[in-house]
Amino acid sequence: MFLEYLKLDFIQNAILASFFISVLCAIIGPLILVNRLSSIVGGVAHAAYGGIGISLYFGISVIFSSLAFCIFCALIIAFLSKQKSNQDAVISVIWAFGMSLGLLLSDLSTNFNAVILNYLFGAILTVEKIDFYAMIIALLIIIPLVFIFYRQLVCVCVDSEFAGIRHIKADLIYYLIVIFSAVCVVLGLRVVGLIMIIALISIPAYISLMFVKSLFYSMLLSAILSFLFCFFGLMISIVYNLSTSSCIILLACICFAIAYLIKKFTKLHNLS
């Protein structure tokens, strides 16, 4: 019965979407955690509701409106919160602005329907061609940029002050990471929804960083873990008729707990 599900077109589309978003999340996740940008990405993820509201009100593509809106919000947060003392306040304001704007435009829209739930909580079984095209384009842009700026990324991640001494444009790297994060958030809306996308970005990266120190290998391990979480979460949700996004994230949380205990046990064993 398990293999029969894999023959269905919409299941194959969901698996392919899982692979693409897993690679995106794997590239972004370690960069976010190492640079301690999780709160910024969380703010952008919730502000994405504003982009959804814009698409409903004006009848335009959710992906394009959300991409533009999220990148706009991400850049504002990144610019205004460079002083860490302002970060929480700026994130809270942008978070509230995006959510309230999205809710207002949704109320005013005649196009409001259950489809909006697909972006709030994810609907991986309903992925469309435009989602695939957007993910492929994002990968074709982000992967080469990561290779081009890999040394700068590593240097900034290790020590941003030292990067400045080496005349590395740390601000440019910072804004690139924030923009990549916004793109990943929007493209992950269909998979797990804006409520849980930050978990899919951060949990596999957190697990990988427990066991590997190299940025490249953490991205590689994160990609494998993300895809496994998406694939098995998808299969569990289909077999037991459960919410796919919940199954994916709960599976990731369980594996995180196991990895954490293994790491702690190994550390204690080595000390003894």
pTM of the model: 0.84
Structure tokens given for 268: 């204690």
Asked if residue 260 has pLDDT above 80, the reply is: yes
H helices of the chain, in order, are: 2-5, 9-34, 38-58, 62-80, 84-108, 115-121, 129-148, 150-158, 160-165, 170-187, 189-192, 197-211, 215-240, 244-271
> Residue 124 in 3-state DSSP?
helix
pLDDT value of position 227? 92
Residue 221 — pLDDT band, cuts 50, 70, 90?
very high
Superfamily of domain 2-271: ABC transporter involved in vitamin B12 uptake, BtuC (1.10.3470.10)
pLDDT value of position 229? 92
pLDDT in tens, 172-202: 778 888 888 888 888 888 778 777 888 888 8
> Residue 6 in 3-state DSSP?
coil
Say if CB 65 and CB 58 are below 8 A apart: yes
Say if CB 196 and CB 245 are below 8 A apart: yes
Instruction: Specify the higher pLDDT residue, 253 or 6.
Output: 253
Asked if residue 162 has pLDDT above 60, the reply is: no
Asked if residue 143 has pLDDT above 80, the reply is: yes
Quickly tell me which residue has 């290790």 as its tokens: 158
Distances in Å between the Cα of 246 and the Cα atoms of 47, 65, 68, 141, 243 are 21, 26, 27, 30, 5
Q: Considering the chain, what is the average pLDDT of its residues?
A: 81
Asked if residue 156 has pLDDT above 70, the reply is: no
Say if CB 18 and CB 167 are below 8 A apart: no
Residue 146 — pLDDT band, cuts 50, 70, 90?
confident
Instruction: Specify the higher pLDDT residue, 268 or 141.
Output: 141
Structure tokens given for 242: 């459960």
Where is mean pLDDT largest: 53-62, 77-86, 240-249? 240-249
CA distance 182 to 199: 14
